[in-house]
Every structure is written in C-alpha cells, then in structure tokens.
Amino acid sequence: MAGGNTAEQCLGPVKICAAIAEARAICRLARAKGKRIGLVPTMGALHEGHLSLVRAAKTRCELVAVSVFVNPTQFGPKEDFTRYPRPFEADRAALENERVDLIFAPTVEEMYQAGETTWVTVEGLTEKLDGRSRPGHFRGVTTLVAKLLHAIEPDVAFFGQKDAAQLAVIRRMVRDLNFPVEIVGCPIVREPDGLAMSSRNAYLGSEERRRALVLSRSLRAVENSFRAGERSPSKLAQCGRAAMAQEPEVRLDYFEILDPETLDPIERAVDNTLVAVAAYVGTTRLIDNVLLRVPDRA
C-alpha cells in the first residue's frame, strides 16, 4: 500500500507522530508483539542530559518513544513559554542518531482540547521547592505527563534527577493514581566545568554562564562538608548559602536540604538526602541538586 500510513508500517526507523491516536496505535502494536515500551518526555532543545535518558531507555525497552512538546500549562504568565527554544530539526536529527523509534510531537491543540476543565493535581509536594516559586507549574506538569502516559502507555518512563522536585511529584502521581508504569530517575549530566545541562543555559551570556557555576560549586561545598562529617541540615544549608553568596549577582531562590521523596525538611542529613538549589542568573532561573552519599568505608 504505497504511501500508506498504518501503524504496522510505522515500525521501521524513527517515526514522527503529531496525533495521539496514531502514537498510541504504534505503541500498542509493538506491545502486542512483546516489545517493552519506554517513554522519555521532553520539551525539546535536546542536549546530552536528554540523550542520557534516551540511552537509558534503549537499554531497558525495545520501543523508545520521545515526546517533544513545550507544555504551555507548566509556564507561568511571566515565564518564557513563547521564547523557549524549539529547534525541532536538530532534535529530530539527534533522536534519529540515537535510533529512537518514535518521536511524539503533538501540537498544543492536540494535547489540550478547547474547553478542558480537568487537571491532575498532586497536593502538598507541589507547594515546595519549585512549586512554591512557580505556582501552578506542577499542576501543568502532572496533567501533561498523565496525558502522555495515556497516549503512549509506556511500561517505563524516564525522568532526570536534574528536576528533583518534578521526579518526586511524578512518582507520587503514578503511585497515587495507580498508573501501570515504572518511573526511572536518571543522574544529572553536567558540562565539564560542572554546570548542569539545561535547555535554558542557552539564554546565558558568557558572563552569566561563568556566574552560573556558583550553583554546582555550592552543592559541592555542601557535599564536602557532609563528607567531612557535618550532618546538621541547617549547617549544611548555611554552607551552601554562603557559597552562593560568593556570587552576589546571582539571586538565590532556595537552597534546601530535604527528603527526596516527601520534599520535607529533615532532622539529620543521611545517605540520599537531597540538596537542592534554585537561583536567577540575570533573568534565567536555573536549578541544580545533589543526593548526598555517605562515603564508602569499605
């Protein structure tokens, strides 16, 4: 059937879909053939951090779908939705190079029908960290991720530890709503000088780019203090905030020491405690974090 576009024929090299029904049909067909489906949700402007999720998905799944969608509902009215980079051709080439099976790149109208009034809201967790600084942000994220999970019906979905609060919120949503999917968190990929990779790094001028290093530097300072035996969350946070203050042009949003699952404050820092920072470098808001590790005494 020349020029046909059935789901069966789409199981070749990378297929680009804009329609939910088509993406779902492709994934269902693959699933019926015994393939495990992996989903990597992204907003595009792909970098090595995103590609590390894709590679993790490739090791675990026989069909890897990457969604590329700049989700309007997770941006505040004064945030960068309209100017967020959308280099679709470069993204497509990068994903083709990684041998991704499916790129799901819907329009806003495909993902959100006119007159929608339904939201997925995780309570509590979403009022902390980025949720506190960006009201409504996580409601947009969870609503979109729920829609993506319904569209692709993956067995496994891959998210970066870079967005630590987002990962906690999504794990909670999946648990609370019994989504039949495994959530895998992947480590933060950094530039050689320590800056966590982010699509928003493209906004930084060269002086801002230099200043932005203070985020990873402050996390390292806390790690070193923890390694040296400090266990008091307030002292560790103080150490991180002092390191952030070394770069007075960078405006701190939060620097917190928390439980990575509940995002609650803790009484004592332990293995896997989350140290999270957010700050404005110029007008660009950057986030970074680290999970503390008790030194291996073996």
Site for ligand AMP in 16-35 (CB under 6 A): none
Q: Which of 73, 32, 79, 40 is nearest to 56 (CA)?
A: 40
212 touching ligand AMP, by CB under 6 A: no
Task: Considering only the stretches 29-37, 83-91, 185-193, 224-232, report the one whose residues sit in contact with ligand AMP under the rule CB under 6 A.
Answer: 185-193
49 touching ligand AMP, by CB under 6 A: yes
Sign of CA pseudo-dihedral 31, 35, 41, 47: negative
Q: What is the DSSP string of 131-148?
A: HHHSTTHHHHHHHHHHHH
In the list 10, 26, 37, 52, the residue contacting ligand AMP (rule: CB under 6 A) is 52
Shortest distance (Å) from residue 16 CB to ligand AMP: 17
186 touching ligand AMP, by CB under 6 A: yes
The one catalytic residue in 47, 50, 137, 150 is 50
106 touching ligand AMP, by CB under 6 A: no
159 touching ligand AMP, by CB under 6 A: yes
Whether residue 137 lies in the annotated active site: no
Q: Residue 222 contacts by C-beta under 8 Å, 6 or more apart in sequence? A: 236, 237, 239, 240, 243, 257, 275, 290, 292
Structure tokens at 137: 């942000």
CB 70, CB 38: distance < 8 Å: no
Structure tokens at 107: 């329009």
Using DSSP, state whether 17 is helix, strand or coil.
strand
| Alpha carbons within 13 A on the beta-carbon side of 9 | 6
Structure tokens at 271: 């293995």
Task: Considering only the stretches 24-32, 193-201, 233-241, 267-275, report the one whose residues sit in contact with ligand AMP under the rule CB under 6 A.
Answer: 193-201
Task: Considering only the stretches 92-100, 196-204, 221-229, 244-252, report the one whose residues sit in contact with ligand AMP under the rule CB under 6 A.
Answer: 196-204
Shortest distance (Å) from residue 45 CB to ligand AMP: 7
- What is the binding site for ligand AMP (CB under 6 A)? 42-43, 49-50, 52-53, 159-160, 162-163, 186, 188-189, 196-199
- Which are the catalytic amino acids? 50
